[in-house]
Amino acid sequence: MASLRLKSRQWIVDEHNNIIMGEGRREILENIEKTGSINQTAKIMKMSYKGVWSKIKATEGYMKTKIVETDKKRGSQLTKEGKILLKKYTLLKKRCVKADDKVFNAIFGK
């Protein structure tokens, strides 16, 4: 039998199924933290500036809070709420992967 493994993804959505956070938005927030730039984040992710900005604005709109602060001199950075969202999603993802692996191994064996 072929070697099998489980791949799963988690999205945080609101009551209308609007995506608040997922792997793509996690990557956007992490890159903004690293580069201090939405433009650099867009280049790294091979996305348009507008694409990155619209995902940020959509999440901010659904959550009714700012997650990224922009300043012409200082660049872009995560707000306190943005950092909390990123930290909690990262923790959720780690725990979900661990739980998923446990269930998968119990069913399919290691």
Q: Quote the domain boundaries for residue 24.
A: 12-108
The answer to whether position 3 is within a domain reads no
Q: Is the pLDDT of residue 1 over 70?
A: no
Residue pair 20/62 in contact (Cβ under 8 Å)? The answer is yes
DSSP category for residue 26: H
Whether the model pTM is above 0.85: yes
Number of domains in the chain: 1
For the packed helices 23-35 and 49-63, what is the interaxial angle rounded to 10 degrees?
A: 110
What tens digit of pLDDT does each residue of 47-98 get? 999 999 999 999 999 999 999 999 989 999 999 999 999 999 999 999 999 9
Residue pair 65/110 in contact (Cβ under 8 Å)? The answer is no
Residue 32: Cβ within 10 Å count? 25
The answer to whether position 67 is within a domain reads yes
What's the chain's average pLDDT?
95
The whole-angstrom separation of Cα 49 and Cα 53 is 6
CATH number, position 59: 1.10.10.10
The answer to whether position 6 is within a domain reads no
